[in-house]
Amino acid sequence: MARRLVVVGGVAAGLSAAGRARRLQRDLEVTVFERTGFCSYTACGLPYYISHVIGDHADLVMRTPQELAREGVDVRVRHEVSEIDTANRRIRVSDLESGSESTVGYDELVIATGASPIAPVPGTGRDGSFTVRTIEDALAIDAWIASRRPRRGVIVGGGYIGLEMAEALGARGIATTILEREADILPLVDPDVAAEVVAELRRHGVEVVTGAAVEEVEGDGRVTAVRAGGQAWAAEIVIMGIGVRPDVAVPRAAGIPIGPLGAISVDPRMRTGVDGVWAAGDCVQTRHLLHDGPAYIPLGTTANKQGRIAGANIGGLHEEFGGVVGTSVLKVCDLEVGRTGLTLRQAQAAGLDAAAGTVEHKSRAAYYPGGRPITVKIVAERGTGRLLGAQLAGGEGVAKRLDVIAAALHGAATVDDVAGFDLSYAPPFAPVWDPLLLAARQAEKAL
Amino acid sequence: MARRLVVVGGVAAGLSAAGRARRLQRDLEVTVFERTGFCSYTACGLPYYISHVIGDHADLVMRTPQELAREGVDVRVRHEVSEIDTANRRIRVSDLESGSESTVGYDELVIATGASPIAPVPGTGRDGSFTVRTIEDALAIDAWIASRRPRRGVIVGGGYIGLEMAEALGARGIATTILEREADILPLVDPDVAAEVVAELRRHGVEVVTGAAVEEVEGDGRVTAVRAGGQAWAAEIVIMGIGVRPDVAVPRAAGIPIGPLGAISVDPRMRTGVDGVWAAGDCVQTRHLLHDGPAYIPLGTTANKQGRIAGANIGGLHEEFGGVVGTSVLKVCDLEVGRTGLTLRQAQAAGLDAAAGTVEHKSRAAYYPGGRPITVKIVAERGTGRLLGAQLAGGEGVAKRLDVIAAALHGAATVDDVAGFDLSYAPPFAPVWDPLLLAARQAEKAL
């Protein structure tokens, strides 16, 4: 009888695992159960569908179940796994269309259940209140805007998805307010970098209110306002962008070990410690190379890598996931902003004696047309000179400059090393002293 | 009496050394002699002045002698140093305007004489034949084109300056042919990557002829043709872009040690081995981190870094130049192309058992507008998996992706390391699997 691989979750991690394992073992019988109606979709593209930068939601789907079937991967959408029986190596599955239940046996199981948005305030069930996680969410928001033509919107939470959705609502002609509980939006960067993002949002007509802890989404059936700090912000549409939490209820009930951060604990090969059970993606915690401890940073890039590694190991190879350095990037209107490693605030909170150097410079040679200002902040450790992280914000050239620092973090570089990096130069692409090199020199001085 | 620093050469390396030393020691008496009429200029910007992307040649000058004087750096342009007397710590200088000569003593001497274009064929003295190295060169070419209105041009040499000048002549409405002696243009990349550049040039109407060893620039006073391989290529303007050689005649005569590559040999602190004599920039050979031997790769980025380090050491600090990994980048029409580390050809020539993986992918998420194709070729060593280099060509996002690999080379990464890099992702900036990661995976397979 063929060896059976069952995968719970048919998006980034799940399908990466399924595909890799199947390519390595052509006789593997692979079945993937996906709770939503779509598999292999990119959650990161959803705001661009809502903003109409992308016209067809089919473009958000990398591969359809039909295409995956031709690769030997049997994907069942609208199927929810409700129970895992690790002792008998079988799962319980509900067909959400028909309501029928069935039991499916496995030899190897990959848990790639992902994460779900949290919405910890009353009233989020009202008509006009949305989260943004699945293609269904995006279709619902798009249709709702088209039919109801809301004029005022509130985004709850000034994180990545909140900012992308603020831009998307703005593109649909909706006057938008971001309500952020903390003193600054975008806690993944330091306040000085976040201030550049706030300025950009305001330039584009988005209102940003910080220190506003949302108490309730108000309305009478339909949303009319969001109450925060005793004040009411009128809104016909509300997007909850507070964050996500790993979907681990079913694995937890099955006795799969959950780590201190509330996500599944895995080893570098993506094994859960339970025989035949692997996990990958937004439902697992991962190793952070900067502090060598566990971190929960749910991102599609990591999910894809981890899925591939789980698949490789199921397929008979020995591969390990090295860990993350905490890289992420975002476009906010005409500003690119991102971070890698630790922010100064994170480094100090972790007890490190850290300092930062910041420069603002042009993205190209001063005399070459089209350059845009770019801010680079580099964080390093006093005493050792160890590079700890970087944050960038600017009009162009942010994402891949971040990746230069990400590569340096993977290589355990010092700021002196970075200041000496042999980076490329031609007038259309950079000044002769790239802003990264100048920021590294500033960081050297700050140490 | 104040300590005297004399610098020979007032461009990248020389002025970096002068400025850094002066900032560290405010009582240092700093004099810089520059042979041309301009100091502190960017040679890399010259093609963009000739193409009229940059309107004013003053934009190519970072700091004027007046500005430098205010920083305590006395720059004498049109002054040529004809002799160095290391025993008595003095130099002989000619004022090229007045013809007068003088002797100047020094406590510390920085040789930053740079490099000069080579033009090893008869007839390059004819009217209409140019090299591109100084602002004077660019002014002369610009004026010549404006007054003579040439219709046909030949570029001798398909290297960086040749390609940039082909684009510049094209922008001025001149039908241009590149004559390259070797089988491929752009020997700094492998032939498959060079082929993309040839296609781009041809798309923009530039004729590319390889295997054409130039024998003579023909004409009767004025240039009429370039003869190569017995064939004559009609041209009213000829740009010699064959390469440069270090300007070391004067230091060589003074007994300053010249290395095996024909450039000045320096230690990591930029000392020549002769008491009080330092050297930096295009006149020195430098350490290549990939083979740990000397290399001659004259670039402004390296010159600036080396000059700063010479200045730091003169100013009482202890700083060392770590070496280069051979990074360079170029815009050719709408194509960005560059390399870092070793090409496959270079690696194999160095006796390494190397292989390469190449991918062509989009620069952004497939569904996000504006993405351009990008080719990534990653070279690595069999057995060890050691990353050896990368070459990229594409419509956007090439330069800083090269720098990610440059950072990885500085960190002595393997291709497995690169394939696991935690790179940034958002749909406007990259696919979820960055082409760098995909190319690293291809390289893994090729090993």
Contact A326, A288 (CB under 8 A): yes
CB atoms within 10 A of CB A205: 11
Return the ∠ at Cα A274 (arms to A273 and A277), rounded to 5°: 100
Q: Which of B54, B328, B417 sits opposite A367 (nearest CB)?
A: B54
Asked if A373 is an interface residue toward chain B (Cβ–Cβ < 8 A), one would say no
Going by C-beta distance under 8 Å and a sequence separation of 6 or more, which residues neighbour residue B149?
Answer: none
**Residue B283 known to be catalytic:** no
Is the CB of A404 less than 8 angstroms away from the CB of B406?
Answer: yes
Structural tokens at position B207: 């004729």
Site from B361, B392, B424, B433 to mutate, A interface, most A CB atoms within 10 angstroms: B424
Residues B156 and B249 in one domain: no
Give me the residues paired with residue B217 across strands. B226
Element (H, E) at B29: strand B29-34
Last residue of a domain, one of B314, B336, B362: B314
Give a yes or no: residue A97 inside a domain. Answer: yes
pLDDT at A85: 98
Asked if B144 is an interface residue toward chain A (Cβ–Cβ < 8 A), one would say no
Q: Which of A45, A400, A428 sits opposite B404 (nearest CB)?
A: A400
**Among A136, A117, A81, residue whose Cα is nearest residue A279:** A81
pLDDT at B129: 98
Residues A84 and A14 in one domain: yes
Residues A305 and A367 in one domain: no
Residues A167 and A237 in one domain: yes
Asked if A321 is an interface residue toward chain B (Cβ–Cβ < 8 A), one would say yes
Residues A255 and A107 in one domain: yes
Give a yes or no: residue B193 inside a domain. Answer: yes
Sheet holding B79-85, edge to edge: B79-85, B90-95, B101-105
Which A-chain residues 85-104 have CB contacts (< 8 A) with chain B? Answer: none
List the CATH number of the domain containing A14: 3.50.50.60
**Whole-prediction pTM:** 0.97
Going by C-beta distance under 8 Å and a sequence separation of 6 or more, which residues neighbour residue A421?
Answer: A404, A408, A436, A437, A440, B403, B406, B407, B410
- In this structure, the dihedral spanned by the alpha carbons of residues B186, B187, B189 and B190, taken in order and rounded to 10 degrees, is 120
Site from B41, B361, B421, B422 to mutate, A interface, most A CB atoms within 10 angstroms: B422
Which tens digits make up the pLDDT trace of B348-407? 999 999 999 999 999 999 999 999 999 999 999 999 999 999 999 999 999 999 999 999
Structural tokens at position A250: 């079913």
Is the CB of B331 less than 8 angstroms away from the CB of A428?
Answer: yes
Last residue of a domain, one of A289, A314, A339: A314
**Among B35, B1, B21, B2, residue whose Cα is nearest residue B283:** B35
DSSP string, B186-251: -TTS-HHHHHHHHHHHHHTT-EEE-S--EEEEEEESEEEEEEETTEEEE-SEEEE-S-EEE--HHH
Which residues of A are less than 8 Å from B299 in CB distance? 425
pLDDT at B432: 94
- Tell me how far apart the 2 most distant CA atoms of chain B are, in Å: 69
Asked if A249 is an interface residue toward chain B (Cβ–Cβ < 8 A), one would say no
Last residue of a domain, one of B201, B216, B242: B242
Give a yes or no: residue B349 inside a domain. Answer: yes
pLDDT in 10s for each residue of chain A, 447 residues? 789 999 999 999 999 999 999 999 999 999 999 999 999 999 999 999 999 999 999 999 999 999 999 999 999 999 999 999 999 999 999 999 999 999 999 999 999 999 999 988 999 999 999 999 999 999 999 999 999 999 999 999 999 999 999 999 999 999 999 999 999 999 999 999 999 999 999 999 999 999 999 999 999 999 999 999 899 999 999 999 999 999 999 999 999 999 999 999 999 999 999 999 999 999 999 999 999 899 999 999 999 999 999 999 999 999 999 999 999 999 999 999 999 999 999 999 999 999 999 999 999 999 999 999 999 999 999 999 999 999 999 999 999 999 999 999 999 999 999 999 999 999 999 999 999 999 999 999 999
Helices (H) and strands (E) in chain A, counts: 12, 25
Parallel/antiparallel/unpaired status of strands B152-156 and A328-332:
unpaired
Regions in chain B scoring below 50 on pLDDT: none
Return the ∠ at Cα B396 (arms to B370 and A326), rounded to 5°: 90
E strand spans, B69-128: 73-77, 79-85, 90-95, 101-105, 108-111, 115-117
Residues B124 and B182 in one domain: yes
Structural tokens at position A186: 């975008």
Assess: ipTM above 0.95: yes
Parallel/antiparallel/unpaired status of strands A4-8 and A108-111:
parallel
Give a yes or no: residue A321 inside a domain. Answer: no
Going by C-beta distance under 8 Å and a sequence separation of 6 or more, which residues neighbour residue A192?
Answer: A358, A377
Nearest CA in chain B to A412: B411
Structural tokens at position A363: 């993205």
Residues B249 and B237 in one domain: no
Give a yes or no: residue B169 inside a domain. Answer: yes
Nearest CA in chain A to B324: A422
Residues A127 and A238 in one domain: yes
**Among A402, A433, A418, A406, residue whose Cα is nearest residue A337:** A402
Q: Which of A48, A338, A418 sits opposite B368 (nearest CB)?
A: A48
Asked if A58 is an interface residue toward chain B (Cβ–Cβ < 8 A), one would say no
At B234, the amino acid letter reads: A
Give a yes or no: residue A148 inside a domain. Answer: yes
Which residues of A are less than 8 Å from B436 in CB distance? 403
If you ran DSSP here, which 8-state letter would residue B324 be given? Answer: B
Please state, in angstroms and rounded to a whole number, the distance separating the CA atoms of residues A84 and A91: 4
- In this structure, the dihedral spanned by the alpha carbons of residues B362, B365, B369 and B375, taken in order and rounded to 10 degrees, is -10
**Domain assignment of residue B148, given as a range:** 119-242
Residues B224 and B296 in one domain: no
pLDDT at B435: 98
Give a yes or no: residue A319 inside a domain. Answer: no
pLDDT at A94: 98
The length of chain A, given as a count of residues: 447
pLDDT at B119: 86
Give a yes or no: residue B362 inside a domain. Answer: yes
How far, in whole angstroms, is CA A46 from its chain's centroid? 12
Going by C-beta distance under 8 Å and a sequence separation of 6 or more, which residues neighbour residue B146?
Answer: none
Is the CB of B48 less than 8 angstroms away from the CB of A397?
Answer: no
Contact A252, A111 (CB under 8 A): no
Q: Which of A329, A422, A433 sits opposite B426 (nearest CB)?
A: A329
Q: Hunting for tokens 């970098």 — which residue is that?
A: A193
Residues A141 and A110 in one domain: no
Structural tokens at position A261: 């951060």
Residues B238 and B123 in one domain: yes
Which residues of B are less than 8 Å from A423 in CB distance? 301, 327, 403, 406
Residues B390 and B441 in one domain: yes
**Domains in chain B, number:** 3
